[in-house]
């Protein structure tokens, strides 16, 4: 396999596409934001005018777009991948969407003879640049095997989740937990500060007890506790992922009181204009309400 197309060059998509180009693949790219394509084109990628055009000569087409309607438009729209992809080619959707949409896209592509894998990713943009993502993969085992040499360029942890759609279902459940941990950690740091604790003290304890979670121990020290609100993962995307996870839960008649409370908190952050800030920036709302500031020593934030 030599010819790959990549559609969607956002915060995660761009470094993933760069890994493919650096890995020696003949890469074609498309994004609605033409400026996002420029660095990849300068590095040797070919520009496509549409998802259809990107797919026409590709043996594998990757897509990574923000939400389910975007994924459906890219795959099945008038200028979508469906109308350009070759029989026997692979379509790998790395978007965080819902499994119902994933399976609907997969069924349409199968009619054209294409093979679909859903493969959302976990971890951060730093891990994307380093090829150390976790890939949550759904699809036929033989198709996944065929794509593994490409996947191994992108990640170091590969979770085979079952049939098509199970990758996106896994990502929904994962981000449901991650956003709840994010919200409760923001509250906890402010409570602790008001009680006379330092964030260093709290982090040390969290790291040795059942309170341990990656949001508190890894994300907050790098972002909110350091006064850094630039997004590793935006509040707007976290809110979207919660919406998807709660919609999935409702389809199975599952109760979601904690998830709903978390989404309500994130909705308040959106209303406050914080959508493009890092998810840990929920801390700022709690700081303001409590009249305090929680920062790591020497952070300068």
- Each residue's pLDDT tens digit, 12-47: 999 999 999 999 999 999 999 999 999 999 999 999
Q: Quick one: pLDDT at residue 99?
A: 96
Q: Which residues contact 152 (CB under 8 A, 6 or more apart)?
A: 158
Q: Quick one: pLDDT at residue 171?
A: 97
Measured CA to CA, the distance from residue 177 to residue 156 in angstroms comes to: 22
Burial (CB count within 10 angstroms: exposed 0-12, middle 13-18, buried 19+), residue 221: middle
Domain 3-163 has CATH 3.90.700.10: no
What tokens does 99 get? 């499994």
171 annotated active-site: yes
Q: Report pLDDT digits (tens) over 176-228.
A: 999 999 999 999 999 999 999 999 999 999 999 999 999 999 999 999 999 99
Residue 301 predicted with pLDDT over 80: no
Of the listed 14, 52, 115, 171, which one is catalytic?
171
Average pLDDT of the residues in 98-120: 97
Q: Quick one: pLDDT at residue 299?
A: 84
Question: Global pTM?
Answer: 0.92
Average pLDDT of the residues in 222-235: 94
Q: Quick one: pLDDT at residue 153?
A: 97
Could you tell me the residue ranges of all domains in the chain? 3-163, 169-290
126: nearest Cα among 229, 15, 280: 15
Q: What is the mean pLDDT of the chain?
A: 96
CATH topology of domain 169-290: 1.10.1040
């Amino acid at each position: 396999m030599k010819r790959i197309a990549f559609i969607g060059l956002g915060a995660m998509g761009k470094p993933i596409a760069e890994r493919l180009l650096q890995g020696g693949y003949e890469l074609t790219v498309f994004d609605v934001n033409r400026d996002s394509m420029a660095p990849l084109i300068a590095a040797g990628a070919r520009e496509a005018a549409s998802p259809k055009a990107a797919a026409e000569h590709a043996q594998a087409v990757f897509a990574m777009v923000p939400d389910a309607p975007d994924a459906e438009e890219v795959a099945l729209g008038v200028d979508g991948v469906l109308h350009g992809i070759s029989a026997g080619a692979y379509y790998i959707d790395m978007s965080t969407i819902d499994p119902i949409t994933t399976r609907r896209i997969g069924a349409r592509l199968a009619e054209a003879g294409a093979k679909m894998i859903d493969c959302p990713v976990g971890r951060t943009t730093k891990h994307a640049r380093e090829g150390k993502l976790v890939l949550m993969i759904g699809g036929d085992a033989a198709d996944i095997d065929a794509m593994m040499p490409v996947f191994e360029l992108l990640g170091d942890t590969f979770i085979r989740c079952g049939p098509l759609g199970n990758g996106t279902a896994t990502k929904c459940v994962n981000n449901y937990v991650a956003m709840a941990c994010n919200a409760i950690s923001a509250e906890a740091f402010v409570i602790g500060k008001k009680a006379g604790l330092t964030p260093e003290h709290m982090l040390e304890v969290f790291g040795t007890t059942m309170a341990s979670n990656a949001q508190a121990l890894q994300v907050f020290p790098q972002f909110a506790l350091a006064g850094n609100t630039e997004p590793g993962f935006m509040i707007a995307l976290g809110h979207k992922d919660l919406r998807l996870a709660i919609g999935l839960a409702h389809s199975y008649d599952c109760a979601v009181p904690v998830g709903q409370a978390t989404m309500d908190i994130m909705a308040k952050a959106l209303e406050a204009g914080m959508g493009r800030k890092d998810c840990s920036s929920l801390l700022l709302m709690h700081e303001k309400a409590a009249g305090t500031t929680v920062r790591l020593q020497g952070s300068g934030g």
